[in-house]
A = this chain, B = another copy of it.
Amino acid sequence: MAKHKGHITIHDIAKALKVSASTISRALKDDKRISEATRKKVIKYAQENGYRPNVVASNLRKQRTETIGIIVPRIDRHFLSTIISSIEHYAHMHGFSVLITQSRESMVAESKAVLTMFNQRVDGLLVSTSLETEDEDNFDLFIKNNIPLVFFDRVPDNDKLNRVVTNDRESSYQVTRRLLNNGHKNIFFVNGPSNILVFRNRLKGFQQALFEKGLTWDDTLYKECDLTQASGRIIAQEILSSDNIPNAIYCSNDTTALSFLQVAQEKGLSVPNDFSLHGFSDEPFSSVLTPKLSTVRQPGEEMGRVAVERLIELIEDDKLSSETVVIPSVIKSRDSDLKIKSI
C-alpha cells in the first residue's frame, strides 16, 4: 500500500535547523513572535525539502477539520449539481474542504452517511433530504451535539432548523394563477410525493390560486408520483387518452412535463394548442424543446452559496439562532402555455 510515509515533518525541519518543533510550527503559520530571520530560514528549508503539513494531525490536535459534509439524493441531477458546484466553490474560498455523499433517495443510506460524516468529524453538514425522509430524526446526531447543520431545498418541516429554500408555494401559486388567468379552468397538477415539504408547498400554492378564483380543488385533477420520466409517461398516457383532456397540465418538474410533451406528440396532440403545459425546475433541455417549455427557474447557485456561508457562520459562531432563508425562484414563461383565444 502506497503511503505518505517517509515524508518530512516539522521535527525533521527542527532537527536540521537546530531549533525546536514549536518554532517550526509557529514560523510556518506566521506567528507574530517569531523573528523574521528564523521564519525565512524555516520557510526556505520547508520549501526546498518539500515539506507538506499533515492536516490530519493538525485536525486531531485542533479538534476541527475545516471540512464540511454534503449529503444529497443524487449528484447527477442538474439542479443539485449546480448547488453542489456552488457549495464547493464558496467552501474552498473560505478554506473548507468538502466531503460528499449521495443518499440515492434512501433514508437508510442517508442515515449511514450522517454517521460517517460525524465520525469524520466534519465541522458542519449540508443536507438535501431523500424522498423517503419525513423529518429530521436522521440528523439527531448533529442536532443533539449541536454541530452546525443546514438543510437546503428538500428540508424538514420544522422552522427550528437552519434551512435554505426557495418560495415553492408562491411560485406554484403564480404559475397556477397565470394558467387560470389565461382561461384554463381544468388544470391537472402532477406533483411529487407530499411527504416532502417542497411538494406540499407547491400543492398549497396551487390550491390557493384555485380558491381565489372560486374554484374547488379535488383530487380528480391531481396526481402524485416520483416525477421520473417513466412515471410521467404512464400518467401522461392515461390523461391524454381520456375524452376530456384538461385545459392545462402543470408538472412539478420538467422531466415529467417532457413526458407529457412526448406522449402528446405521439398521439398527434399539439402543445399549447390542445393543452397548455407548464413545468418546474428549468432543466437545460427545457428552453430548447419545441415548444419551449414554460417553467420555474430555481436559484441553485445562490442557494448553494447562501447555504454554505450560513453553515460557515454557524461553525465560526456557536450561538447563532437558527433561521430559514427563502430565495425566490423566477417564472420562465415560454411557449408551452398560451392564453385561450376565446378570452
**A60 / chain B contacts, CB cutoff of 8 Å:** 54, 56-57, 60
Interface pair A101/B101, CB less than 8 Å apart: no
Contact yes or no, A4 B145, CB < 8 A: yes
7 nearest A-B residue pairs (beta carbon) = A285-B285, A76-B85, A75-B85, A81-B81, A76-B81, A290-B290, A55-B119
Q: Mark A303-333, 1 if CB is under 8 A from B, else 0.
A: 0000000000011111000000000000000
Interface size class on chain A is 35 or more
- B99, B316, B317: which contacts A97 (Cβ < 8 A)? B99
Q: Which of B7, B100, B316 contacts A88 (CB 8 A)?
A: B100
A76 touches B82 (CB 8 A): yes
Interchain CB contact under 8 A, A145 and B85: no
The answer to whether A161 has its CB under 8 Å from any CB of chain B is no
**Which residues 60-86 in A have Cβ within 8 Å of B in the complex?**
60, 63-65, 67, 74-78, 81-82, 84-85
CA distance A146 to B146 in the complex (A): 40
Does A75 lie within 8 Å of B88, measured CB to CB?
A: yes
| Contact present for B2 and A146 (CB under 8 Å) | yes
Q: Are B63's CB and A3's CB within 8 A?
A: yes
Q: Are B64 and A3 in contact (CB under 8 A)?
A: yes
Is A147 an interface position by the 8 A CB rule? yes
Within 8 A of B (CB), among A23-79: 52-57, 59-60, 63-65, 67, 74-78
Q: What residue in chain B is nearest A120 (Cβ atoms)? A: B55
Please name all residues of chain B whose beta carbon is closer than 8 Å to the beta carbon of A262 when the two chains form the complex.
288
CB atoms of B97 and A116 under 8 A apart: yes
Residue of B whose beta carbon sits closest to that of A291: B290
Q: A89 near B: Cβ within 8 Å?
A: yes
Contact of A4 with B121 in the complex, beta carbons under 8 Å: yes
Question: Are B2 and A52 touching (Cβ within 8 A)?
Answer: no
Q: Is the CB of A75 within 8 A of B84?
A: yes
List chain B residues, Cβ under 8 A from A121: 4, 54-56
Given contacts A74-B85, A284-B285, contact A1 B120 (CB under 8 A): no
Q: Does A5 contact B (CB under 8 A)?
A: yes
A258 contacts the other chain (CB 8 A): yes
Pair A88/B101 contact, Cβ less than 8 Å: yes
Q: Is residue A115 within 8 Å, beta carbon to beta carbon, of the partner chain?
A: yes
**Do B288 and A2 touch (CB < 8 A)?**
no
Tell me, yes or no, whether A118 is within 8 Å of chain B by CB: yes
Answer whether A288 and B65 are a contact pair too, CB < 8 Å, given A59-B56, A89-B102, A118-B52. Answer: no
Whether B97 contacts A98 by the Cβ 8 Å rule is no
Task: Determine whether the beta carbon of A4 is less than 8 Å from that of B63.
Answer: yes
Query: Are A318 and B2 in contact (CB-based, < 8 A)?
Result: yes
Shortest CB distance A331–B (Å): 21
How distant is A48 from chain B, measured CB to nearest CB, in Å? 15
Is A283 part of the contact surface with B, judged by Cβ < 8 Å? yes
* Nearest neighbor of A80 in chain B, beta-carbon distance: B81
A283 to B52, CA, bound (A): 41
**A192, CB-defined interface residue at 8 Å:** no
Q: Does A215 contact B (CB under 8 A)?
A: no
Residues from chain B with a CB closer than 8 A to the CB of A123 are 2
